[in-house]
Amino acid sequence: MDDLLREFLTETAEHLDTVDQELVRFEQNPRDDAILRNVFRLVHTIKGTCGFLGLPRLEALAHAAESLMGRLQDGMPVTSEAVTLILATVDRIKLILAELDRAAAEPAGSDGEIIAELERAAGLQQDERGARPVSAEELDRAFRAASGPGESPVAPLAADLPAPLGQDEGASSRVQTIRVAVDTIEHLMTMVSELVLTRNQLLDISRRSEGDAAFKAPLQRLSHVTAELQDGIMKTRMQPIGSAWAKLPRIVRDLAPELGKRVELVMSGAGTELDRQVLELVRDPLTHMVRNAVDHGIETPELRLAQGKPQQGTIRLSAVQEGGSITIEIADDGGGLDHAAIAQRASDLGLLAGQDVERMSEEQIAKLIFHPGFSTAAKVSAVSGRGVGMDVVNSNIAALGGTVEIASEAGRGSRFTIKIPLTLAILASLIVEAGGQRFALPQTAVLELVHVKTGSESAIERLHGAALLRLRGELLPVVELSGLLGLAADGAAERGDFVVVLQVGRKRFGLLVANVLETEEIVVKPMSSRLRHLSAFSGTTILGDGAIVLIIDPGGAAQLAGAALNRGPAELPSADEALAEAAERVTLLVFRGRHRVLKALPLSAVTRLEEVDAATIQEVGGSPTLSYRGRLMPVVPIDGPDGLKREGSQPLIVIEEGGRHLALAVHEIVDVVDAELDIDPVPGRSDLVGRALVRGVATEIVDIGHYVPRLGGHRAAGQDRRSLVLVDDSAFFRDMLVPVLKAAGFSVRTADSAAAARRCLARSPADALVVDLDLPDRNGLDLVDELRREPGLRLPQVVLLASSAGPEMLERAARLGIHDVVSKFDRSGLLAALAEFETAWDAAA
């Protein structure tokens, strides 16, 4: 296609967007001549160019629209009909432009009808084509009043609208922009990357050959200029978010009357810039959300009046940059989300999967609108039913690494907050080496770096092949990156080196790498389509030396590591097959008490390990106490009052309970061991669960419950104790959990099988049921299912204990109305789940 024509198409499309916007504004402020002048000027420009390019259809349309606008400028009253007519003309022009773009020629057809209407509206006699409804002088005068074509409206087309473009602007305030093809910029970007590589090679050579000092200064200059050039190119990729908003005023303007509503769209922060690529990807979600706000958010004028609100509803769209991300808010002052209707609809569609709506929080219900297949639009109008649902919005935003949050207040409106990264193209990263190869890790996921060496303070310890790192008293599961990626372990890992501590969601784990090389801002290149299925990588980049390096996706790495990490204290989602693992495999912290007796605690019960100077432990009110993190923490010697050291360092095991800490003073921390427990009870010892062989050595398994009550139950005295039934076939777990549950204020009954649990509940009801997934006679889920069907039985609130939980299991649990699924070893998680029931019970009372 002709370059001239192509440019015309691009330019005209932008002009028309502006005309759309401006006309809507004009309708609201009919006395604002500046707006009209601006629109007039744009239409005039289009008309002029069409004439020049020989596009008669377009020219005639633009001319007719211009005539009507000329009349408006002359003081003819501005009616909604007139504006609608002009907008319809703009639509027709767009239609012809689309065809022009496709076929490089104006399509055949006649616009006589629309032109006639325009002319009628302009109060002129209908005439044959070629009539001059506006005198040449008139036109000329109007055109002179408008600003010249030099003031390019391109860049600020959607920028903050307040400054009327048509007002007399001094030459100095002109926005100087040019239009550049995206390909050109992308190509420049590639070239600059090449330049960076070359510069780095030069720097490398200069470093090696020390003699040539003469090269140093110019090389440094080159280096500097290259960096600035790269920065500059990056900036050209940035665009104001307003360009994604440009069409919204028109959409709202057209949509509202269709729905019998009156809506004003207020936009702020349109100048906020973000990467072109991100911009393209948020455009549709934003449009959809604004449509939604008009369709579902804003009420009809009658309803609004009845509620004492102004007839006209307001939708506020705002964008603001915060650090490396941009926050977009879409707020309306409508009725807020109708939680009941959403729940009802979700239930009709079968999306609730057995979940009890009564038990869902408003936030949970609100999130249902993101469910695939959900749409509350009962009437499929032009508004809804466009194929984009909120689920697509949600997944699009998530694909960008962003989030959507919903806040809603009945009668006051709702607010959607979208947070997305500014650019996908540049990533601050850490370059590491593993298996003889370099990889990039996004710094956003990196918490810290630990240099580990055998024998040093922070050392990797292995139990059954699973690596653990003691980090400031916390135990962190560690996986080897080379092993994770299936690269031959090069032995480097054994020699220690580095652990990169990563945070993915709530999970934290360490990645063992051979070496950490540098931090670098990398330019992200998409992964090849042939490799996109590899969840471990999110893309590639070219480093300064020209080498290609894969970018590790921390989420994908965490998933890969899932199985390896699940045995550690940090819980990670894992495959269902892990369920088959022996339930009684426990990671134990082994330590010595007085008389050097070996003792052990489940690692999950331990918050931190500390070592303090014995002298810092003081007697407060007759009990040993330590000032810990600004609070006083009771110190309990594990073997009675004489167990405290008088001098030297005192190892402590810190346990946390309801935000309070308790330290168990022990003689020495020995190890962390993965063991299968076969526990023999020891009668008369309430401090022990029993004895067991741990790595072939008789070890006392400590009952934390014995110590935990010292923290004091958090239920006020005199309050009725809630009754709870604990169903677990393992005596070890029952014994482990009962004291903890009692300390939390429950009266506890236990059952060792599903049958026993049913008998127990039949005798007298309970407030809560804690069920192990693996029962000897039945699966825990089946038990809950049966109890739910049992007539006359009031099913208590249920928490399921599982060593690990796959998605299928979670789904079934949700269907059965199971409130929470907690890892068997997650004591605090269990207590937190039970604490959440308080509200339900209080409501029932």
Partner 1 sequence: MTAPDATADPPAALATYATVEIGDQLFGIPIEHVLDVFVVTCLTRVPLAPPEIAGLVNLRGRVLTMLDMRQRLGLPARPDQARRLAVGIEHRGESFGLIVDAVGDVMQLAAADLEPNPVHLDRRWAQLSRGIHPLSPRLLVVMDVEAALAPDRAALAA
Residues forming the site for partner 1 (CB under 8 A):
190-191, 193-194, 197, 435, 437, 485-487, 525, 528-531, 534, 536-537, 540, 542, 546-550
**Residue closer to partner 1, measured from CB, 160 or 194:** 194
Q: Give the span between the Cα atoms of 243 and 241, in whole angstroms.
A: 5
**Residue closer to partner 1, measured from CB, 369 or 536:** 536
**Residue closer to partner 1, measured from CB, 549 or 738:** 549
Six token digits for residue 768: 């809560």
Six token digits for residue 511: 């990645």
- We find the least distance from the C-beta atom of residue 185 to partner 1, in angstroms, to be 14
**Residue closer to partner 1, measured from CB, 193 or 314:** 193
- We find the least distance from the C-beta atom of residue 70 to partner 1, in angstroms, to be 47
Q: Give the span between the Cα atoms of 780 and 786, in whole angstroms.
A: 10
The answer for 814, left when phi > 0, alpha when psi is -120 to 50, beta otherwise, is alpha
- We find the least distance from the C-beta atom of residue 630 to partner 1, in angstroms, to be 46
Stretch (H or E) spanning 304: helix 301-306
**Residue closer to partner 1, measured from CB, 530 or 763:** 530
- We find the least distance from the C-beta atom of residue 548 to partner 1, in angstroms, to be 4
CB neighbours of 589 closer than 8 A, spacing ≥ 6? 475, 600, 601, 602, 603, 606, 609, 653, 669, 671, 672
Six token digits for residue 21: 């916007």
- We find the least distance from the C-beta atom of residue 582 to partner 1, in angstroms, to be 29
Q: Which of 132, 160, 150 is nearest to 67 (CA)?
A: 132
- We find the least distance from the C-beta atom of residue 773 to partner 1, in angstroms, to be 32
Residue type, 528: S
Residue type, 30: P
Sign of the alpha-carbon dihedral angle for 663, 667, 668, 671 = negative
- We find the least distance from the C-beta atom of residue 179 to partner 1, in angstroms, to be 23
**Residue closer to partner 1, measured from CB, 53 or 487:** 487
**Residue closer to partner 1, measured from CB, 225 or 548:** 548
Residue 741's CB is within 10 A of a number of other CB atoms, namely: 22
* Residue 353 and residue 811 in contact, taking contact as beta carbons nearer than 8 Å: yes
**Residue closer to partner 1, measured from CB, 177 or 528:** 528
**Residue closer to partner 1, measured from CB, 379 or 530:** 530
| 464 φ/ψ angles, rounded to the nearest 5 degrees | 55, 40
Residue type, 842: D
- We find the least distance from the C-beta atom of residue 433 to partner 1, in angstroms, to be 13
**Residue closer to partner 1, measured from CB, 272 or 482:** 482
Tokens 């990039």 identify what position?
440
- We find the least distance from the C-beta atom of residue 221 to partner 1, in angstroms, to be 23
**Residue closer to partner 1, measured from CB, 122 or 485:** 485
- We find the least distance from the C-beta atom of residue 540 to partner 1, in angstroms, to be 5
CA distances from 163 to 90, 150, 159, 300, 772 (A): 24, 17, 9, 32, 66
- We find the least distance from the C-beta atom of residue 522 to partner 1, in angstroms, to be 12
The answer for 467, left when phi > 0, alpha when psi is -120 to 50, beta otherwise, is beta
Q: Give the span between the Cα atoms of 310 and 331, in whole angstroms.
A: 16
Q: Give the span between the Cα atoms of 311 and 261, in whole angstroms.
A: 8
DSSP-derived pairing of the beta strands 548-552 and 746-751: unpaired
- We find the least distance from the C-beta atom of residue 536 to partner 1, in angstroms, to be 6
Q: Decide: residue 321, CB within 10 A, 0-12 exposed, 13-18 middle, 19+ buried.
A: middle
- We find the least distance from the C-beta atom of residue 547 to partner 1, in angstroms, to be 6
**Residue closer to partner 1, measured from CB, 525 or 594:** 525
**Residue closer to partner 1, measured from CB, 208 or 530:** 530
- We find the least distance from the C-beta atom of residue 541 to partner 1, in angstroms, to be 9
- We find the least distance from the C-beta atom of residue 484 to partner 1, in angstroms, to be 9
**Residue closer to partner 1, measured from CB, 12 or 193:** 193
**Residue closer to partner 1, measured from CB, 56 or 486:** 486
- We find the least distance from the C-beta atom of residue 488 to partner 1, in angstroms, to be 10
Query: In what side-by-side order are the strands of the sheet with 722-727?
Result: 746-751, 722-727, 768-772, 797-802, 820-823
CB neighbours of 135 closer than 8 A, spacing ≥ 6? none
Q: Which of 247, 238, 240 is nearest to 159 (CA)?
A: 240
**Residue closer to partner 1, measured from CB, 96 or 485:** 485
| 298 φ/ψ angles, rounded to the nearest 5 degrees | -75, 135
CA distances from 311 to 251, 415, 798 (A): 19, 20, 48
**Residue closer to partner 1, measured from CB, 192 or 726:** 192
* Residue 24 and residue 36 in contact, taking contact as beta carbons nearer than 8 Å: no
- We find the least distance from the C-beta atom of residue 1 to partner 1, in angstroms, to be 19
String of DSSP letters for 139-183: HHHHHHHSPPTTS--SGGGSS-TTS-TTS---GGG--------HH
Helix (H, G, I), strand (E, B) or coil at 350: coil
CB neighbours of 170 closer than 8 A, spacing ≥ 6? none
Q: Give the span between the Cα atoms of 155 and 329, in whole angstroms.
A: 23
